[in-house]
């Protein structure tokens, strides 16, 4: 294979952004700078598929051992437009414009996630999620900085208490990739922070004092940017609070840096279950062998993995794109959980779709694929109103005794609505007998009721 070389080392060894990896030192002898290959015109050198195009072209000489080291990936994130031009063709004018955009909305993308982009396709669905666009600024007046009004429900710094039984811990604003559609884009300008020990103690004290809290969601930024020991300290303290039943982790690492989901992390999480992990795949091309292996490691450690995707214009806003995504998720045993309407965040308007698009997508999936593959489409209401599910309307008319319904094919059915109970309610002891028996009905019911052993009873 013929290749020519370019020097990318200096561009990729950025240290400008604060890193929260306590053990993120630069002295690992295994670690090599990213590869020195340049873009080649030789058609023989094209990879078989579009995915991994950039790894093939630019990181081909990085040994797998280094490429799969998540700390190397994290440290070598592309954060400047000058670096980006090594991988993605950008005119001088585009570069100048993107520099302006990144002054307001910074850029960060891991070599791994970058490698999934087809650099020759300006409409690549992964590129649109990770690479800045001038429309972030030109449409930047639309929307709000904090549309969900999270500040209003912040009870101590980093702890949002909106619903009675749940709290959200925001431990850091650092993420491996800065997604262009992020709801917390407002945090990016703050330069990378991690909650101090005193702030964490205040959050833990609040949770301890509020016995209604049974569900703690650890989010960010991305909480898995913290080192595993740091994360273990916080998770173990939460698990020590008796009224907390479940812990949830919101993370995009399985998608943008799956190497982070290593055995050390999985073994640690396995100790503090039940822990549920919600991740964020938006396109089927993100479901790579590496991402599938990361989800598999989590599942084998007893951590269920759900997916919360965001509906994004030009990325996944069709029935086909969502069906492919959800089928791909089921194949790796990840449950499609939510499809979010993209929040009204400043700098994301170009990625938002009309609400009808989401409803049409759900309608186009219902009946054509398993219900297991269909996420719940939700709007997270502004001003902290919470999530509202939206469904196609299948009820055409309703009277007291009947509903007129349409099915997924548009055929119309009449359904008798049993508005009043057919029988008086049975006493509880009759609902789960030791064996089949004929029991006496209440006096007013003259029809003998045959009660069978139910599979739910055994």
φ, ψ of residue 226 to 5 degrees: the values are: -70, 150
182 near ligand SF4, judged by CB under 6 A: yes
Q: Does 184 bind ligand SF4 (CB under 6 A)?
A: yes
We find the least distance from the C-beta atom of residue 180 to ligand SF4, in angstroms, to be 9
Tell me the catalytic residues: 162-163, 166, 175, 179, 182, 184, 343, 380, 387
Nearest to 373 by CA among 409, 410, 331: 331
Residue 326 in the binding site for ligand SF4 (CB under 6 A): no
Residue of 124, 136, 146, 222 that binds ligand SF4 (CB under 6 A): 222
Q: Please tell me the distance from the alpha carbon of residue 61 to that of residue 149, in angstroms, as a whole number.
A: 47
Nearer to ligand SF4, 88 or 179 (CB): 179
Contacts of 367 (CB under 8 A, 6+ apart): 407, 408, 409
Q: Does 252 bind ligand SF4 (CB under 6 A)?
A: yes
What one-character DSSP code corresponds to residue 303? Answer: -
CA distances from residue 206 to 173, 197, 438 in whole angstroms, order as listed:
21, 14, 55
Nearest distance, CB of residue 106 and ligand SF4, angstroms: 10
Distance CA 327, CA 331 (A): 6
**What single DSSP character describes residue 391?**
-
Q: Which two tokens stand for residue 260?
A: 């982070």
Nearest distance from C-beta of residue 173 to ligand SF4, angstroms: 8
Reading the block at residue 331, the tokens are 């194949």
User: Cβ closer to ligand SF4: 182 or 298?
Assistant: 182
Q: Which residue among 221, 223, 328, 336 contacts ligand SF4 (CB under 6 A)? A: 221
Q: Between 36 and 260, whose beta carbon lies closer to ligand SF4?
A: 260
Nearest CB to ligand SF4, comparing residues 36 and 184: 184
151-180 residues in contact with ligand SF4 (CB under 6 A) are 175, 178-179
Which H or E run includes 56? helix 53-58
CB of 372 to ligand SF4, least distance (A): 25
| Beta-carbon count within 10 A of 308 CB | 19
CA atoms within 13 A of residue 34's CA, in its CB half-sphere: 32
Residue (214 or 313) nearer to ligand SF4, CB: 313
CA distances from 374 to 337, 363, 369, 403 (A): 8, 10, 8, 24
User: Among 216-224, 229-237, 319-327, 396-404, which window interacts with ligand SF4 (CB under 6 A)?
Assistant: 216-224
Q: How far is the CB of 182 from ligand SF4 (least distance, A)?
A: 3
Count of residues touching ligand SF4 (by CB under 6 A): 9
Q: Kindly list the residues in this chain that would bind ligand SF4 in the complex (CB under 6 A).
A: 175, 178-179, 182, 184, 220-222, 252
């Amino acid at each position: 294979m013929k290749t020519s070389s370019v020097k990318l080392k200096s561009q990729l060894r950025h240290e400008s952004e604060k890193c929260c990896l306590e053990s993120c030192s630069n002295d690992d002898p295994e670690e090599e700078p990213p590869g020195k290959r340049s873009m080649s015109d030789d058609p023989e050198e094209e990879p078989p598929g579009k995915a991994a195009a950039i790894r093939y072209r630019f990181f081909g000489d990085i040994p797998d051992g280094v490429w799969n080291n998540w700390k190397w990936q994290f440290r070598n994130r592309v954060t400047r437009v000058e670096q980006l031009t090594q991988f993605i063709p950008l005119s001088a004018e585009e570069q100048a414009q993107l520099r302006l955009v990144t002054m307001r909305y910074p850029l960060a993308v891991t070599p791994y996630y970058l490698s999934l982009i087809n650099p020759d396709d300006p409409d690549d669905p992964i590129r649109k999620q990770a690479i800045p666009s001038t429309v972030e600024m030109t449409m930047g007046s639309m929307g709000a900085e904090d549309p969900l009004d999270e500040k209003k429900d912040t009870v101590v710094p980093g702890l949002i208490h909106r619903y009675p039984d749940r709290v959200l811990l925001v431990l850091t604003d650092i993420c491996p990739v800065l997604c262009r559609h992020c709801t917390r884009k407002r945090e990016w300008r703050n330069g990378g922070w991690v909650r101090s020990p005193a702030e964490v103690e205040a959050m833990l004290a609040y949770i301890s004092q509020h016995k209604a809290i049974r569900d703690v969601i650890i989010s960010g930024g991305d909480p898995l940017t913290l080192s595993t020991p740091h994360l273990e300290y916080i998770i173990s303290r939460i698990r020590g609070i008796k009224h907390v039943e479940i812990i949830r982790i919101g993370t995009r690492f399985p998608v943008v840096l799956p190497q982070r989901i290593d055995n050390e992390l999985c073994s640690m999480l396995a100790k503090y279950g039940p822990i549920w992990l919600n991740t964020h795949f938006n396109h089927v091309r993100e479901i790579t062998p590496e991402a599938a292996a990361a989800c598999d490691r989590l599942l084998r450690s007893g951590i269920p993995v759900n997916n919360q995707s965001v509906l994004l214009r030009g990325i996944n806003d069709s029935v086909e794109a969502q069906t492919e995504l959800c089928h791909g998720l089921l194949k790796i045993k990840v449950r499609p959980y939510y499809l979010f309407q993209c929040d009204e965040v400043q700098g994301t308007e170009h990625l938002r779709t009309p609400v009808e698009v989401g409803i049409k997508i759900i309608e186009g999936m219902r009946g054509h694929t398993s219900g297991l593959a269909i996420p719940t489409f939700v709007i997270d209401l502004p001003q902290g109103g919470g999530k509202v599910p939206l469904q196609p309307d299948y009820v055409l008319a309703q009277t007291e005794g009947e509903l007129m319904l349409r099915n997924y094919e548009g055929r119309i059915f009449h359904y008798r609505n049993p508005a009043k109970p057919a029988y008086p309610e049975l006493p509880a002891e009759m609902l789960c007998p030791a064996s089949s028996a004929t029991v006496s009905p209440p006096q007013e019911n003259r029809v003998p009721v045959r009660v069978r052993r139910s599979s739910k009873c055994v």
